[in-house]
Amino acid sequence: MSDPMLYPLTFTPVLRDYLWGGRRLETLFGRRLPPGIIAESWEISGHPSGSTVAEAGYWQGQPLPAIQEALGERLVGARGGWALARRKFPLLIKLLDARQDLSVQVHPDDAYALAHENGELGKTEMWYVLHADEGTELIRGLQPGVDRQMFLRAVAEGTLPALLRREPVRAGQVFDVPAGTVHALLAGAVVAEIQQNSDATYRIYDWGRVGADGRPRPLHIEKALEVIDFAGRGGQSVPCLLQDGAGLRRVEVVRNRYFVVETLHMDAGARFPAACDGATLEVWGCVAGRAAVEWEGGTVPLPAVRFALLPAALGAFAVTALEPCTCLRTYLPEA
């Protein structure tokens, strides 16, 4: 008999109304949204700025930090011991709708953030592109040869955009964004973001915009200069084919010290059996089509775009494609 405290958890998202957002989580994916701008939907979050609350089952109405406090290693797994020690959930899962260009920014690594941001962690992240208008680009990194002096001069002269490396965007692409990488989503992109549980962000350039108060939003140039990886030491993940057959193509697309992300492209009826054996939690998100997570206690539907958190002690489970679908599978790596 299954433990009523251990089941695939879904959460009520926390919504953010930053000025660059839009309404495409509603128009593209049928989300019911309140009136106004919706820039971000925090799907699974234990961050103090916005913790998601369980939708159903034993933990219904409880925020994720309280569930972690109660379940401990049974939720995050043995690989998440560092998260338990810090009383932080290890991941943060978001959807972002860029109706306008986001500010150009950079995130610190753990060492810098812990020293300068009141115990906040650093922020390594990745994007899976859900939708991109024709001609959409994003910014990831600097042009070759840009150093600290060139960067600082461009900031002073207002010519920073010329030093930024732009990449074209299309649905289904994956972008790895290690801490220290200068980056920005630009207008036209809708992405799923998987990241460290952190909100440490240093804004570098904001396209001449003003905030709701009519004033330019603050920049964080001094801190940014201390964390930008001018040498490109952060590196990028190399995709690795893990499985191809029986209606399922599985690829590891991102691996770093904080999380591993796989994409699974599944034909209708394809089934992927696995188990949460206590080593790590898993987060499953259906980003196209329809899937379902099955375990001893029942079935949780995963329409696009929806995420479920599988506790590390859940045991055997399977993901089944109810129609052709694409899923993201995220888990914590071995040390």
Q: What is the pLDDT of residues 176-194, one digit of tens each?
A: 999 999 999 999 999 999 9
Q: What stretches of 143-259 adopt beta strand conformation (E)?
A: 164-168, 174-177, 183-185, 189-196, 202-205, 240-245, 248-255
Q: What is the CATH number of the domain that holds 309?
A: 2.60.120.10
First to last CA, the chain: 32
Taking 80 as the threshold, does the pLDDT of residue 279 lie above it? yes
- Which of 197, 227, 257 terminates a domain? The answer is 227
232 domain-assigned:
no
> Quick one: pLDDT at residue 313?
98
Same structural domain for residues 26 and 151? yes
30 domain-assigned:
yes
Same structural domain for residues 221 and 317? no
Same structural domain for residues 199 and 285? no
Structure tokens at 209: 């915009």
Structure tokens at 320: 């089944």
- Summarize the confidence of residues 113-140 as an average pLDDT: 96
Same structural domain for residues 128 and 270? no
Range of the domain at 219: 11-71+88-227
46 domain-assigned:
yes
> Quick one: pLDDT at residue 1?
62
Q: Residues 247-279, buried b or exposed e (16+ Cβ, 10 A)?
A: ebbbbbbbbbebbbbbbbbbeeebebeeebeeb
199 domain-assigned:
yes
> Quick one: pLDDT at residue 81?
93
Same structural domain for residues 259 and 301? yes
Taking 80 as the threshold, does the pLDDT of residue 233 lie above it? no
Same structural domain for residues 266 and 317? yes
The 10s digit of each residue's pLDDT in 30-85 is 999 999 999 999 999 999 999 999 999 999 999 999 999 999 999 999 999 999 99
- Cβ neighbours around 234 below 10 Å, total: 16
Taking 70 as the threshold, does the pLDDT of residue 157 lie above it? yes
Taking 70 as the threshold, does the pLDDT of residue 251 lie above it? yes
> Quick one: pLDDT at residue 213?
83
Kindly state the percentage of the chain with pLDDT values over 90: 94
Of the given ranges (79-83, 229-233, 266-270), which has the lowest mean pLDDT?
A: 229-233
Same structural domain for residues 222 and 305? no
Same structural domain for residues 152 and 278? no
Same structural domain for residues 140 and 267? no
5 domain-assigned:
no
Q: pTM to 2 decimals?
A: 0.96
76 domain-assigned:
no
Same structural domain for residues 139 and 253? no
> Quick one: pLDDT at residue 310?
98
- CA distances (Å), 221 to each of 67, 153, 225, 270, in order? 38, 12, 6, 49
- Which of 172, 200, 227 terminates a domain? The answer is 227
110 domain-assigned:
yes
Taking 90 as the threshold, does the pLDDT of residue 153 lie above it? yes
The DSSP result for 25-38, as a single string, is: HHHTT-----SS-B
Task: Considering the candidates 31, 203, 250, 306, report the single residue annotated as catalytic.
Answer: 203
Same structural domain for residues 92 and 166? yes
> Quick one: pLDDT at residue 305?
96
Number of domains in the chain: 2
235 domain-assigned:
no
- Specify whether 16 is catalytic: no
Helix-strand-coil split of the chain, %, nearest 5: 15, 40, 45
- Distance separating alpha carbons of residues 65 and 87, to the nearest angstrom: 8
Hey, CA dihedral for 131, 24, 123, 287, is it positive or negative? Answer: negative
- Which of 205, 227, 249 terminates a domain? The answer is 227
Same structural domain for residues 66 and 167? yes
CA 107 from chain centre, in angstroms, equals: 14
Q: Classify strands 315-321 and 290-295 as parallel, antiparallel or unpaired.
A: antiparallel
The 10s digit of each residue's pLDDT in 280-321 is 999 999 999 999 999 999 999 999 999 999 999 999 999 999
**Which of these, 61, 11, 3, 1, lies nearest to 314 by C-alpha position?**
3
